Each structure stands twice: as structure tokens, then as C-alpha cells.
Structure 1
Amino acid sequence: MIKRLKRFLWLPIAIIVVVCILLGLMGILTAQQPFISHPLTSLTEAEISTAVSFIKREKTLSEMAAFPLIALQEPDKEEVLNFGPGKAFQRKAFLVIYERSQNKTYEGIVDLKNKALNSWKEIPSVQPAIVNSDYELATEVVKADPQWQKAMQRRGITDFDQVKISCWAPGILSKQEEATGNRLCRALSYYKGQGWNYYGSPIEGVLAKVNLNAGKIVSLVDKGNVPFSKENWNYDVKSLGKLLSAPKALKILQPNGASFRIDNNEISWQGWKFRYLMHPRSGLVLYQVTHDDGKDIRPVLYRASLSEMVVPYGDPDPTWSFRNAFDVGEYNLGLLANTMELGKEIPENGLLLDTVFANEQGEPYKIPGVIGIYERDNGMLWKHYEYNTQRNHVRRSRELVMTMTVAVDNYDYSINWIFHQDGTLEVQNELTGILLTQGTAAQKQSENDLYGRLIAKNILGVNHQHFFNYRLDFDVDGQANSVMEMNVKALPMDEKNPLGNAIAVTEDPLAKETAAVRDLDMKSSREWMIVSANKKNTLGAAPGYMLMPGENSIFLPVERSNIRQRAEFATHHVWVTKYKPTEFYAGGDYPNQTQPGQGLPQYITDDESLMGEDIVLWYTMGVTHVPRSEDWPVMPVHRVGFKLVPRGFFSRNPAINLPE
């Protein structure tokens, strides 16, 4: 009887165990396959694996095949704009495949829903972005080379493990290098010693050119011994000696929680609503940015992202003149994003979000805390003190910041999208990290140092620039938009202006793409507006958003210079194009070892109309950096940015009804 009872008792226990296992499996599957509620949701790990598996099944790839980029194939814009709950939508993956053994680049588009290969094509004569295996191969090849080893030994370096190899995209190519079509990199050498900040000890004058297809050094330059700094340039607490006294604790508290709301990848805050996505090349991308004016939800931008960067260095020496990094397209900026920490890159009241990328083997992986979002105080929003009543009318300003940080070799950048309560959207880039230094025998600044400044003994900071191009797909109150240029000028004294104080403003349409290649003009306070082509505000004017520039510079490489031809997007501050779904990158789709004239110069060759069209504004901003000793050994943050400011978009100050 007892035995029979035990047998029956096992039955419910077994059922419970099976149910638990099934529930656990369902939980795992749910975790691996997040709910996809919108066409602009990032690729999941499962979708990346599906796309790669399908490519491998349909195409014969070698063991050396790499996947430099796997991303969401952006759906048709009209499909996204017409999407609503319950509607079906496409899910496609875009893949770049590089066959090193064949030196060929392919693009594939996989339909994830229908398990079909929608597109497969070879892209001739291009090189995709540098991948991890390129760095590893370059290091192995350089350190095994007898000539390089002798160059190190001449400098008293016998332990080659103490040397760090930095692999750069080759930059400007000679005619011979172009003719071979090989995948190349240029390898710099740094002495590490016992420190970790090896950028303070460049082994100057040694430059190796590596053929990454053949796995061998093509050429080695050794210009002779230059002393390199033997000082320890680490800047951790242990290395710095006596420290400043720490400031007293500053706490940012939100006892009632954050004011923003996140629903999958959609964020709502103070009238703003937008979607976000982390792209392996562009980094943080915003979509469908709208503002609720109390009556209507009104579109402002369909898509906004960093499109390209270029960092030209200003020393004509052949071991330096090639250094013109296209950080977005040559190195896949998004993949270089790093995990942030609360209380460090973003304040303690912030929220950190994860993202999913794919490595060059096509394997998905998750990066935790790669996107930060937080609210911060920004001083006064508006104020008026009324003397008659002695009342003080004032509102405190709050901002919503969405950010990412990336480390591109020695430099670090953060990209910040800042939403204001007055309807302004601001972009702010932060530049920090470690200067790219040049070894020198000098221990004191010399008048002969034309191309840089001595920042420490034996260390020269080379003059250089940073240029960022942003692609801004405006949909101001709809897709039918036009672009206006505003110029302000003082009028001459005459009978209508007897005191000479008149200030006049002109607004002129930029009707065609070639006419919309423009530059800043400080004398006329030049700004640009994207306005609705078919709607009017309450005062009878076209509602619009104005691009308000901040700090900027001009691109200094001279006419006919190679880098000017490769980075033509940086030679003008504003470009405007009619929307095309394939035009994403100001420097072209494949800037690594590219031909001149790619990207924006190519996009405007058809010179399309910009009147009442779906238009994209491309804004370029630059920083000219003449290094100083205070930039060493790590550079304080330098901020540069611009604002998109409503102009006639609202009938009044949109923050006037903010409660106290």
C-alpha cells in the first residue's frame, strides 16, 4: 500500500518538474527572442544568427570570410510612416561580407520573415571597414619582420612584447597602391615599457605598410632614431602622487522617478517622442522625432545620425601625411561604443541601455550599458521679474540627454542628443582621450615647430582637425519641405535710415541641390531653415525648424590636396539633397581606400529640385586643434555642437505653460 502511494506521489511531482522545465525553456526563448513591435526595432540576436546562417547556406563562403557589418535593412520610409498597431511589416538584415582570400566585397539582404535572399551582389573595387582580424594580422606580420626587428634593436628595444602596434587604414594611396587593389594598412609602433599609456612613447619614423591579403609587409620606412619619452605617462591614481582634495558629494535625486517613458525603443518626454537604434557604423540613430503641441503630434525629423567623420593631421612628413581617419566608415564607429557607468559618463539618476551587435564571424553579442539616457538641470528656462507687483515669474529648465561614448584608438568621443522643453533639439559632441603624439628630440618649444606644439619633453602634439557630418532627414509638419537661407545685414545710411541703425533680414530659397552647398558667414549671421511647403502657422508663415550653428571651422587642407578630394563633404558646412533611401554616408559607402568624389559630391550630380520635396540636410562642423600642454596626458573634454530650433513652428513659447 505504501509503495503504491509513493508511486502515485511521484506522478504530480514529475508533472511539476516537466512544467517547470518547459516554463524555463519558454523563458530562455523569450529572453533570446524579444518582442518586435515596430519596423525600426534593432535586429535581435536570433535574427542576426538567422541571417548569417542563411547566407552561409545559400553562398559558399571560405573560412576566411568576415562580416564587417550586419545591421537592420531599414524598411521603406512610407511603410514606416503608415505603420500602425496590428499591421504587418518587413524584417530584413543587411550584411557586408568580405572574402579576404579573394579580396572581394559582397552585400547581401536577407528577408528574415520569408527566409529568402533578396539581394546578393559584389561591390567591385572597394574595401570595407577595418576588422579585428586586420589588427591581429598586422601585429603578427610586423613583429615577425626582420627589418622591423632590426629597427627596434637599433633603438635598444630587444623585447618586442614591449612594443604596441597600431593599425591604421592606409589613408591617401599612391598610384601604385591604388593599382594593386590590395587591402592595406599602415602600422605604427609604440613603446609600452611597464606603463599602459603607450601613446606617450611613439617610436617615431618607423612605418610599416602591410598587405592584409598576402599577410606580409610591403614596405618599411625607418627614418632613423628619434628619442622617445621614457617617462611613465599613466594617469591612474597610483601614478599621480599627491591628489587634489575630492569635492564634497553632489547627489542628483529623482525621488518620484524619471519623467521620461520608454516603450520598447520609443521614448516620450515633455511633448517629445522618438525612437532610437544603435547602428554598428553610425552609432546612435534617432527616428520619427515628433512634438506634441497640445493639439497635434507633429513630425520634425524622420531620421538623424552622425554620417561621417574625418580627422586630418597637419604634418607633411610621409609617416604622418596619410593620417586622415574616417572614423565612422573606416572603423565602424558604432562597434567601438563602450559600456558606460552610472555616476561617471552619465549621472547616477540615469538609465543604461544594452544593444546587440555582431562580430566579424557573424556571431551576435550583447554590449551592456552602451546607451545612456538621463535628465539634467539646465539653469533657467524663462524668467521675468515684475517690478510693479514684485512677483518673480521663473521656470527651471530640464533637459533629456541620450548619449553614447566611443574609443577610436587614442581619441574618445561622446555623441549627445539633447532635448529641450522649448522645442529645441541640440547635438553636442564631446572630444577627449589621448592626443596622437609625435616623438621628438626637443625638450623645449622651438620656433621651427610649425606643425605642432611641444606638450612634454620629447613629445609633440601635431596640429589637426576633427570634422563631423550629420545627416538630418527633416519632415517638418510632413514630407513636403523646402530650405531657406537667412542672412542678416546692416543697411547703409540714407533718407530711410538716417541714423544707420537699420538691420534687415532676407530669407532666400535654395531651390536646387547644387545651389544648396553653403558655408557659414559670421558677418551675416547666416542660418538655414527647413520649412513646410504646404502649411501655414497662425501668423500666415511657413512653420519651420532652423539650424543654429555653434563652434565651427573651415577645412584647412588646400585645393587639389588628396584629402580634400576624399573628404569633400568637409569642405562645406551645409549640403541639402532630395531624399533617397540609399544615400546615408557623406563620405561614401566605402571610404576605406576610396576614390575621390564619393558621397555628397556624387549625391548632388543630378541637381534635383528642393522645393516642396522630402529633403535631407547634411551639416558639417569642425574643430581645429592646436595642442597645448594642458591636453596631456589626457585631454579635458572639448564640446562642439549645433541646435535645431523651432521657428514659427509653435504659436508661442511651448514651455510657457510649464507648472512651477
Structure 2
Amino acid sequence: MIKRLRQFFKIVIFIIVFITFFIGFKGNLSAQYPAILHPLDSLTTAEITTAVAVVKREKKLSEMAVFPLVSLQEPNKNEVLNFTPGKPFQRKAFLVIYERLQNQTYEGIVDLTTKTLSSWQQIPNVQPAIVSSEYELANRAFKADPRWQAAMQKRGITDFNQVQISCWSPGILSKQEVGAGNRLCRGLFYYRGERWNYYGSPIEGVLATVNLNTGKLDSFVDSGIVPFSKKNWNYDIKSLGQLLSLPKTLKILQPNGKSFRIKGHEISWQGWNFRYLMHPRNGLVLYQVSYKDGKNIRPVLYRASLSEMVVPYGDPRPNWAFRNAFDVGEYNFGSLANKMELGKEIPDNGQLLDAVFADGNGEPYLMSGVIGIYERDNGVLWKHYDYNTQRHDVRRSRELVMTMTVAIDNYDYNLNWIFCQDGTLEIQNELTGIILTQGTGAEKQSENDVYGQLIAKNIIGVNHQHFFNYRLDLDVDGQANSVMEMNVNALPIDQKNPLGNAIALQATPLTKETSAVRDLDMKHSREWMIVNTSKKNSLGAAPGYMLMPGNNSIFFPVEESNIRQKASFATHHVWVTKYKPNELYAGGDYPNQTLPGEGLPKYIVDDESLTGQDIVLWYTMGVTHIPRSEDWPVMPTHRVGFKLVPRGFFSRNPSINLPESVPMKGNRQ
């Protein structure tokens, strides 16, 4: 009897272990190969592997070939809009392949269903984004060059391992570099010593450019020795010594769970519904943003993403004048995303999501925790207090934030998509990290340092700007949209306006692409609105969504400057184009070593109609950064953004029917 019981228990234990193993195995398998539910779902590891294998099978690539980009080939827009769950759909991958030895760039499209190469073409005279393996190649080339070694030794540096090298795209090219057509990157050098914050010790005066095709230096400049800071600028707890007292714990609790729902790549919250994708170039992309208005699901946006950004530096001296970073197209912004932590980049009540990318060899890899989503309090949503009746009506505001954070060498950027209960969608960029430093012998600010500010002894922060361009494919209540410019005017004193207090709104349609290249105008409180003129709201007006700018700047490089010609998108705040699926990047498809005039200037050459069309709004916002000592050694976060606000889209305040929340009991002091 006892023997039978033992056998019975052994069988039971075996079954439990087997079920546990099977569930765990299935869970791991589903994490690596998630179900593809929608045409806009991200590529899986299996799909990336298939796409690269098909290209290698169909084309004889050299051992030096790299894959700067592997991403979803976005399907036809109308097919996506007409998609219904359960219906079969095509899956394709888009690949950029660079053959270093031949200095040639190719684009391929792989049909993932049939596992065939459906498109292959060489793209002449372009350079794709820099891939990670090229940083190591450049490092070896710099340190092996006798001129570079002599320059370091002249500065008292004999251990070359103590030199940290930052590799930049070449930026503005000389005439000789343009004519040669080689793939280049430039090296910036810092003395690291025993410190991890090496940005405090720039080795000024040395600039080297490596030819990535040959692995040899293309040019070398040593303009003379400049003292560099020997101070330890580390800012970890161990380095700082005495710290401020820690604030008392502040926790955001959701004891009943989160209010948003995630199903695959689809998210719904408080009337909002949208899809997301982590793109290796754009970063976090939103698709099919809609709002449930009563029983009606109303489209607002089809696709929204960061399109390009440029960071021009304002020092004209040869070792600095080339410096301008196109962080989206030159470095693949999305692939530089950081892993985040609960309670740090996002609050404890948030949720972290993963993404799958391909490395330079085309191998897929998982990036965990690079997307964050959370709810936060935002003060009062709406309120009124009536003195006569002492009636007090108030609702607190809740926001849904979807975020990512990226480190690009010295700078850190957080991109936030913020959904509000009043139908507003806000985009907010956060800039932090370490400013790009310049070595100097000065210990006090001099009148001669007009291109930067002394932020510490022997360290200058160079004046610079950050310009971000967002591509917003708005489909307001459908695709038949038009764009209006809204200007507020003060009317002159006359018989109708005897006191001179009249304020009038003038709405002007922008009917063609070339006439829709516009700039901010504070004097007229200028804003822009995308409307659907084929529909009317309850008051007889066309429903719309309005672009409400936030802080902004003008692009300071002068008309004849090289960077102004290369970064034309930053020279105006607003562009509007008729939708074309391949017009995705404000600075052009290949901004690395590109010629002037690519991107938006080319997109508007055909000057298409913008009346009752599927149109795309491009918005550029800028930050002019004149560094200050308080930005060092790591700068406090600076925020810049804009809003898409409903105007005539709803018949009333869409948050008026929000129930009143029950206050949590707390201690009163």
C-alpha cells in the first residue's frame, strides 16, 4: 500500500513539474516569438532573422557588409485602415545594407510571408547611419596613427588607454571631402584618467578624421596645446561627499490597478485608443490615434513620430565649425534607447515594455524596459465655485504618459507622448545629460569668449541649439483634411471699435504646399488647425485639431551658411505636405554626409493642393542653449513641447462627464 502511494506521489510530482516546465517554456517562447495580431506590429526576432537570411541568400554580400537599418516595411495606409482582426495581411521588412569595401548602399524589401526578396536597389552617393562596429574601427585607426600618438605625448599622455574617443559623423564637409565621396567620421578626444566623467577634460586642439572604408586617417589637425581640467567632475554619491537630506517618501499608488489596457501593441485609456511601435530610427512611433466620443470612434492621427533633429554648435573655429548632429538619421535615434527603471525614469506605478532591434550584423536582440507607460496626476482638470449657492464642482486631471529615453554621447533626451482627458495630445521633449565642453586656459570668463560661456575652470560650454522636427499625419475625422492658419488681430479704433478693445480671429486657408511653409508670430498669437471641411459639428463649423506651439526659437545660422542649407527643415516652424508614404524624414532619407536641400524642400517642389486632402503637418521646435555654470557637471532637465488641441471637434468639454473621485483619507497637519 505504501509502495503504491509513493508511486502515485511520484507521478503527481512529475506531472506538476512537467506542467510548470511547459508553461515556462511556452512563456519564454511567446516572449521571443509573440503573436502578430496587426499589420503595424513590430518585427519579431524570427522576422528579423528571416529578413536578413533572405538578403544573404539572394545577394552575395561581403564579410564587411553591415545592416544600418532593419525595420518594418509599413503596409499601405488604406489596407491598414480597412484591416479587421482575423483577416490575413502581408508582412514585409525594410533593410538598408552598406558594403564598406565598395562604399555602396542598398535598400531591400523582404516579403516575410513568401520569404523572398521583393525589391533591391542601389542608392547612389549616400551614406547610411553609423553602426556600432564602426566606432571600434575608428578607435583603432586613431590610436594607431603616429601623428595622433605624438599629439597625445606632447600633452603628457603616454597611456593611450586613458584617452576616451567620441566618434561623430563628419557634419560639414570640405570641398575635398565632398569630392572624394568616402565614408568618414571625426574623432573628439577626452582625457579619462581615473574619472568616468571624462567630458570635464576635453583634449582641445586635436581633430582627426578617419576613412571608414580604408580604416586609415583621412586628415589630422593639431592646432596647439590647450590646458585641460584635471579636476574630478564625477557626480556620483561617492564623489560628492556631503549630500542634502533625502526628501520623505512620495508614492503614487493605484490599489485598484492601472486604468489603461494593453493588448499587444494597442493601448486604450479614458476614450483614447492607439497603437505604438519602437522604430530603430524614429524611436517611439504612434499609429491610429482615435478618441471614443460617445458611441463614435473618431480618428485623430494616423502616424506621429520624431522625424529628425539637428544640434548645430556656434563656434566658427575649424575644430568646431563642422559640429552639427542629425541624431535621428546619422545615429539611428531609436536604437540608442536606454533601459529604464521603475521609480527612476518613470514612477513606481508605471509599466515597462520591451523592443526588438537588429544590430549592425543583422542579428536580432531584445532591449528590455526601453518604453515606459504610466498615469500621473496633473492638478485641476476643471473647476467652478459658486459664491451664491456655495456649490463646489471640481475634477482632478489624470494624464497617460508614454515615454522613452535616449543617450547620444554626452546628451540625454526623453520623449514623452502625453494623453489628456480633455482630448489634448501633448508632446514634450526633455533635455538633460552633459553639455559638450571645450578646453580653455582661462579660469575666469573673458569678453573674448563670445561663442561660449565659462562653466568651470578650464571648461567652456559652447553656445548651441537643438531643433526637433515632428511628422504628424493627422486624419481628423477622416482623410479629407485642410489646413487653416489662425491669426489674432487687434482692430483699429473706428466707429465700430471706439475704445480700441476689439480682438478678432482671422482664419486663412493654406491651399498649396509652398504657401504652407510658415513661422511663429507672437504678435498675432499664431496657431494652425487641421480641419475636416466635409463634416460639420453641432454648431455648423468644421471639426478640427489645432497645433498649439510651446516655447520655440529661430534657427540662428545665417542664410548663406552650410548648416542652414543642410538642415532646411529647421529654418521654418511649420511645413504642410500632401501625404506620400515615402516622405518620412524632414532632413532626407540619408542626412549623413548629405547634399543641401534634401527632405522637406524637395517634398514641396511639386506644390500639391492641400484642400480636402490627406495631409501631413511637420512641426519644428527649437531650444537655444547658452550654457551656464548651473548646467555643470550635469544639466537640470529642460522641457520643450507642443500640443494638439481639439477645436470644434467635440460639442462640449469632453471631460465634463468624468465622475468625481473619492478623496483618500489622510492626516491633516
Counterpart-to-counterpart distance in 2, 1:235 and 1:85: 51
* Displacement after TM superposition at 1:32 (Å): 2.7
Closer, same or farther in 2 for the Cα pair 1:26/1:388, shift >3 Å? closer
> Does structure 1 residue 416 correspond to structure 2 residue 416?
yes
Q: What do the CA deviations read for 1:40-88 (whole angstroms, capped 9, x no partner)?
A: 1000000000111111111101111100110000010000000001211
> Does structure 1 residue 584 correspond to structure 2 residue 584?
yes
Counterpart-to-counterpart distance in 1, 2:429 and 2:22: 48
Counterpart-to-counterpart distance in 2, 1:117 and 1:148: 45
Alignment of 1:190-229 (within 5 A): 190-229=190-229
Counterpart-to-counterpart distance in 2, 1:224 and 1:274: 56
Counterpart-to-counterpart distance in 2, 1:139 and 1:116: 38
User: What residue number does 1:649 align with?
Assistant: 649
User: What residue number does 1:554 align with?
Assistant: 554
Unaligned segments of structure 2, at least 5 residues = 1-5, 661-669
Counterpart-to-counterpart distance in 2, 1:46 and 1:561: 46
* Displacement after TM superposition at 1:30 (Å): 3.5
Amino acid at match of 2:43: L
* Displacement after TM superposition at 1:22 (Å): 7.7
Q: What do the CA deviations read for 1:530-556 (whole angstroms, capped 9, x no partner)?
A: 000200000000000000000000000
Counterpart-to-counterpart distance in 2, 1:117 and 1:180: 32
Closer, same or farther in 2 for the Cα pair 1:20/1:298, shift >3 Å? closer
Counterpart-to-counterpart distance in 1, 2:210 and 2:105: 19
Alignment of 1:213-612 (within 5 A): 213-612=213-612
Q: What do the CA deviations read for 1:456-497 (whole angstroms, capped 9, x no partner)?
A: 000000000000000000000000000000000101111111
User: What residue number does 2:3 align with?
Assistant: none
Closer, same or farther in 2 for the Cα pair 1:76/1:211, shift >3 Å? same
User: What residue number does 1:100 align with?
Assistant: 100
User: What residue number does 2:139 align with?
Assistant: 139
Alignment of 1:53-64 (within 5 A): 53-64=53-64
Amino acid at match of 1:630: E
Counterpart-to-counterpart distance in 2, 1:10 and 1:355: 41
3-state secondary structure, aligned to 2:136: helix
Counterpart-to-counterpart distance in 1, 2:241 and 2:449: 32
Query: Which sits farther off after the overlay, 378-387 or 29-38?
Result: 29-38
Query: Which sits farther off after the overlay, 516-525 or 216-225?
Result: 216-225
Counterpart-to-counterpart distance in 2, 1:645 and 1:10: 65
Closer, same or farther in 2 for the Cα pair 1:19/1:284, shift >3 Å? closer
3-state secondary structure, aligned to 1:84: coil
Amino acid at match of 1:457: K
Query: Which sits farther off after the overlay, 21-30 or 218-227?
Result: 21-30
3-state secondary structure, aligned to 2:55: helix
> Does structure 1 residue 185 correspond to structure 2 residue 203?
no
3-state secondary structure, aligned to 2:335: helix
Amino acid at match of 1:461: G
Counterpart-to-counterpart distance in 1, 2:23 and 2:173: 58
Q: What do the CA deviations read for 1:266-289 (whole angstroms, capped 9, x no partner)?
A: 000000000000000000000000
3-state secondary structure, aligned to 1:227: coil
Closer, same or farther in 2 for the Cα pair 1:502/1:28, shift >3 Å? closer
3-state secondary structure, aligned to 2:555: coil
Amino acid at match of 1:203: I
Closer, same or farther in 2 for the Cα pair 1:345/1:61, shift >3 Å? same
User: What residue number does 1:74 align with?
Assistant: 74
Q: What do the CA deviations read for 1:357-415 (whole angstroms, capped 9, x no partner)?
A: 01011111101100000000000000000111111110000000000000000000000
* Displacement after TM superposition at 1:18 (Å): 9.4
The size of the alignment, in residue pairs, is: 655
Counterpart-to-counterpart distance in 2, 1:276 and 1:14: 42
Amino acid at match of 1:73: Q
Counterpart-to-counterpart distance in 2, 1:561 and 1:184: 21
3-state secondary structure, aligned to 2:193: coil
User: What residue number does 2:89 align with?
Assistant: 89
Counterpart-to-counterpart distance in 2, 1:234 and 1:639: 25
CA RMSD of aligned residues (A): 1.9
Closer, same or farther in 2 for the Cα pair 1:130/1:423, shift >3 Å? same
Counterpart-to-counterpart distance in 2, 1:367 and 1:578: 35
User: What residue number does 1:3 align with?
Assistant: none
Counterpart-to-counterpart distance in 1, 2:251 and 2:12: 54
Closer, same or farther in 2 for the Cα pair 1:117/1:143, shift >3 Å? same
3-state secondary structure, aligned to 1:207: strand
Amino acid at match of 1:147: R
Counterpart-to-counterpart distance in 2, 1:160 and 1:215: 18
Q: What do the CA deviations read for 1:417-453 (whole angstroms, capped 9, x no partner)?
A: 0000000000000000000000000000011111000
Amino acid at match of 2:456: A
Closer, same or farther in 2 for the Cα pair 1:14/1:539, shift >3 Å? closer
Counterpart-to-counterpart distance in 2, 1:343 and 1:19: 35
Counterpart-to-counterpart distance in 2, 1:258 and 1:267: 12
Closer, same or farther in 2 for the Cα pair 1:442/1:88, shift >3 Å? same
Closer, same or farther in 2 for the Cα pair 1:14/1:284, shift >3 Å? closer
TM-score, scaled relative to structure 1: 0.97
User: What residue number does 1:622 align with?
Assistant: 622
TM-score, scaled relative to structure 2: 0.96
Counterpart-to-counterpart distance in 2, 1:501 and 1:31: 63
Q: What do the CA deviations read for 1:162-200 (whole angstroms, capped 9, x no partner)?
A: 001110000011111011110001111100010000011
Counterpart-to-counterpart distance in 2, 1:66 and 1:389: 72
Q: What do the CA deviations read for 1:473-522 (whole angstroms, capped 9, x no partner)?
A: 00000000000000001011111110000111100100000000000000
* Displacement after TM superposition at 1:26 (Å): 5.5
* Displacement after TM superposition at 1:649 (Å): 0.1
Counterpart-to-counterpart distance in 2, 1:259 and 1:505: 39
Counterpart-to-counterpart distance in 2, 1:27 and 1:247: 40
3-state secondary structure, aligned to 1:320: helix
Question: Which of structure 1's runs of 4+ aligned residues deviate more than 6 A?
Answer: 9-25
Closer, same or farther in 2 for the Cα pair 1:501/1:205, shift >3 Å? same
3-state secondary structure, aligned to 1:630: helix
Counterpart-to-counterpart distance in 2, 1:656 and 1:65: 58
Closer, same or farther in 2 for the Cα pair 1:455/1:69, shift >3 Å? same
* Displacement after TM superposition at 1:21 (Å): 8.2
Amino acid at match of 2:333: L
3-state secondary structure, aligned to 1:310: strand
Counterpart-to-counterpart distance in 1, 2:500 and 2:20: 85
Counterpart-to-counterpart distance in 2, 1:441 and 1:22: 66
3-state secondary structure, aligned to 2:319: coil
* Displacement after TM superposition at 1:560 (Å): 1.2
* Displacement after TM superposition at 1:19 (Å): 9.2
Closer, same or farther in 2 for the Cα pair 1:538/1:219, shift >3 Å? same
Counterpart-to-counterpart distance in 2, 1:496 and 1:17: 87
Counterpart-to-counterpart distance in 2, 1:231 and 1:20: 56
Counterpart-to-counterpart distance in 2, 1:14 and 1:487: 75
Counterpart-to-counterpart distance in 1, 2:295 and 2:10: 64
Closer, same or farther in 2 for the Cα pair 1:658/1:214, shift >3 Å? same
* Displacement after TM superposition at 1:653 (Å): 0.2
* Displacement after TM superposition at 1:31 (Å): 3.7
* Displacement after TM superposition at 1:29 (Å): 4.1
* Displacement after TM superposition at 1:33 (Å): 1.7
